[in-house]
Amino acid sequence: MGSVVAINQRARSEEQKTFRRNAVLKVAELYFLEVGYEAFSMSHLAKRAGVAKGTLYLYFETREEIFLTLYEQSLIRWSQIFINDLPVSMTSKSYAQKLYSTAMADGTFLPLLIRLEHIIEHNVAIPRLISSKQIFIHQVDAIAKVTSIALTLNKPRAIEVVKTMGVLLIGATQGDQAPSLDNEELPKDVRDLIDSFSSEPLFIKNAARIIEGIRSESFTET
């Protein structure tokens, strides 16, 4: 127990610093899930974590570095769940449905993925960005390995599926980040328009088409 340090105590050893950094991240994720991206502030995070605001910058150079770290954690967490749920054989539609449902179940993953390339990655140091990209490469490789088995694809085609699904997932779910109008009384034409852009059917339908196309191309190559 001697190596454990409270979050509001000064961290001295590297082990204590790691413990404190992880403790801040746990508070940060709960805070993010509560208030979202735009309302997230370092001042309020410091108060919730019981530390001085300046202390946060000992562990994270920018607010976006916290978001990048939370994204990496959620990427690894989601990847493992998705990988564990994949059978040895499945249809393109089932694959798309499984990917969508597991990604949506993680409240941190998609909101940060959507903002990753346009906002978050522009506000972190290059070495930190490089290490994040290496984590991404590793996770894509791990997902592609099981995807190649589940969809009967060679490794390059499986990687193509995984990367394409990521791009499609971002595009299809961006509308989900807008203010919710579920409980509002809306004209039928407006409600029909909103429903037509619902991310789940939009993603699954188009994802299945793309996967089928890649599988067909893979079949003609053999």
C-alpha–C-alpha distance, residues 30 and 32, integer Å? 5
What is the pLDDT confidence band of residue 2, given thresholds at 50, 70 and 90?
A: very low
- Where is average pLDDT lowest: 4-8, 61-65, 189-193? 4-8
φ, ψ at 38 (rounded to 5°) = -65, -40
Phi/psi region, residue 52 (left: phi>0; alpha: psi -120 to 50; beta: rest), is beta
Question: Which of 207, 161, 176, 28 shows the shortest CA–CA distance to 113?
Answer: 176
pLDDT given at position 23: 94
**pLDDT tens for residues 122-156?**
999 999 999 999 999 999 999 999 999 999 999 99
**Domain of residue 99, CATH code:** 1.10.357.10
Token pair recorded at residue 157: 């085609």
User: What is the number of domains present in the chain?
Assistant: 2
- Residue 154 and residue 131 share a domain: yes
- Residue 73 and residue 53 share a domain: no
pLDDT given at position 8: 52
Q: Where are the beta strands (DSSP E) in the chain?
A: none
Q: What angle do CA 157, 135, 29 make, to 5 degrees?
A: 120
- Residue 143 and residue 85 share a domain: yes
Helix ranges (DSSP H) in 117-187? 126-150, 155-173
- Residue 74 and residue 28 share a domain: no
C-alpha–C-alpha distance, residues 155 and 142, integer Å? 11
CB 206 within 8 A of CB 149: no
- Residue 30 and residue 111 share a domain: no
φ, ψ at 122 (rounded to 5°) = -80, -10
- What is the average pLDDT value for the chain, to the nearest integer? 89
Other residues' Cβ atoms within 10 Å of the Cβ of residue 77: 14
The domain in which residue 159 lies consists of: 63-221
C-alpha–C-alpha distance, residues 121 and 130, integer Å? 10
- Where is average pLDDT lowest: 85-89, 106-110, 154-158, 177-181? 177-181
Domain boundary residue, one of 19, 40, 59: 59
- Residue 213 and residue 112 share a domain: yes
Contacts of residue 146, defined as CB under 8 A and 6 or more positions apart, other chains included, come to 83, 86
- Residue 160 and residue 196 share a domain: yes
**pLDDT tens for residues 24-76?**
999 999 999 999 999 999 999 999 999 999 999 999 999 999 999 999 999 99
C-alpha–C-alpha distance, residues 85 and 143, integer Å? 11
Contacts of residue 23, defined as CB under 8 A and 6 or more positions apart, other chains included, come to 7, 49
CB 88 within 8 A of CB 44: no
Token pair recorded at residue 43: 């001042």
- Residue 204 and residue 167 share a domain: yes
